[in-house]
Copies of this chain bind each other. A is one copy, B any other.
Amino acid sequence: MAPDALMQPPVIILLRPQMGENIGSSARAMKNCGISELRLVAPRDGWPNPLARPMAASGADILDNATVYDDIGSAMHDVVLAFATTARMRDLVKPTTDPRGAAEMSVAKPQSEGRRIAYLFGAERSGMDNDEAVMADYIVSADLNPDFPSLNLGQAVLMMSWEWRMAALRAQSLSDAALDDNWPERATIQERDFFFQRFESLLHDKGFFATKEMAPIVNRNMRAFFTRAEPTKQELQTWHGILSMLMKDS
């Protein structure tokens, strides 16, 4: 998790947006959530659009700084991870996630100049076509009312922006927790593996396995059990002490 997740918002890209009002309300939603970069691909009524500003409220600076592109490819020139928010596509096989999953993936990857993460939104009514959706790494599908799943464009931008913000806030608080001195120190995979080997030797040496076939199954189940408990270094030391005592005994 990036410790400065809130400082690395994604880029919002609107494909062929039609109504200025919707571009404005998208900017407002972005501003509410701390996202600042807006890119427009071939806006129907040109740009700037006077209908956008009243809806943007304090997001007017986002409109002022919005950049306009002729096609989706140039709008994505520096994008390394893209999420396309759209209803499920026919005839297109793509990994799919939901808004919360997309947000979690977004905050898990650090961005940098020339390596951006983008959320793509299709045009009002017509949505995104297959040639556009194919440019994205993931299709984002929200589990909405099947009788009317179609969100207003500004609402779709708010939903994604809010999910991003919640994920970023959570990543920051986890990251703060990880820096906390009181966080118990987890054993490494290597340390766990060394412990398992000793544990398995003990079971073998003491003749626990009545049949040869039994060993791999019990060993696997015991590994799953110990792994689930997420042992700390301290706990594995205690376990090693127990193993040493039991081994000495035989």
Interface residues of A (CB under 8 A from B): 25, 28-29, 31-34, 55, 57-59, 100, 142-145, 147-152, 154-155, 158-159, 162, 165-166, 169, 203, 206-208, 218, 221-222, 225-226, 228-231, 234-235, 238, 241-242, 245-246, 249-250
CA distance A144 to B250 in the complex (A): 63
The residues of B that contact A100 with a CB separation of less than 8 Å are 166
Closest-CB distance, A19 to chain B (whole angstroms): 11
The residues of B that contact A33 with a CB separation of less than 8 Å are 144-145
The residues of B that contact A32 with a CB separation of less than 8 Å are 144-145, 148-151, 155
The residues of B that contact A228 with a CB separation of less than 8 Å are 228-230
Could you show 8 A-B contacts with beta carbons less than 8 Å apart? A28-B155, A32-B144, A32-B145, A32-B149, A33-B145, A55-B152, A155-B158, A218-B238
A142 — nearest CB in chain B belongs to which residue? B162
Oligomeric state, in number of copies?
A: 2
Q: Is the interface of A mostly helix, strand, loop or mixed?
A: helix
The residues of B that contact A218 with a CB separation of less than 8 Å are 238
Of the candidates B28, B143, B230, B246, which one forms a contact with A246 in the assembled complex, judged by CB atoms under 8 Å apart? B246
CA distance A60 to B31 in the complex (A): 29
The residues of B that contact A154 with a CB separation of less than 8 Å are 152, 155
Of the candidates B169, B231, B245, which one forms a contact with A207 in the assembled complex, judged by CB atoms under 8 Å apart? B245
Closest-CB distance, A164 to chain B (whole angstroms): 12
The residues of B that contact A225 with a CB separation of less than 8 Å are 229, 231, 235
Of the candidates B25, B145, B207, which one forms a contact with A155 in the assembled complex, judged by CB atoms under 8 Å apart? B25
The residues of B that contact A55 with a CB separation of less than 8 Å are 152
Contact B144 A165 (CB under 8 A): yes
Contact B238 A221 (CB under 8 A): yes
Closest-CB distance, A51 to chain B (whole angstroms): 13
A30 — nearest CB in chain B belongs to which residue? B145
Contacts A143-B169, A155-B25, A207-B245 known; A150 to B238 CB distance under 8 Å? no
Closest-CB distance, A181 to chain B (whole angstroms): 19
Contact B155 A34 (CB under 8 A): no
Contacts A203-B242, A228-B229, A245-B207 known; A59 to B28 CB distance under 8 Å? no
The residues of B that contact A221 with a CB separation of less than 8 Å are 234-235, 238
Closest-CB distance, A228 to chain B (whole angstroms): 5
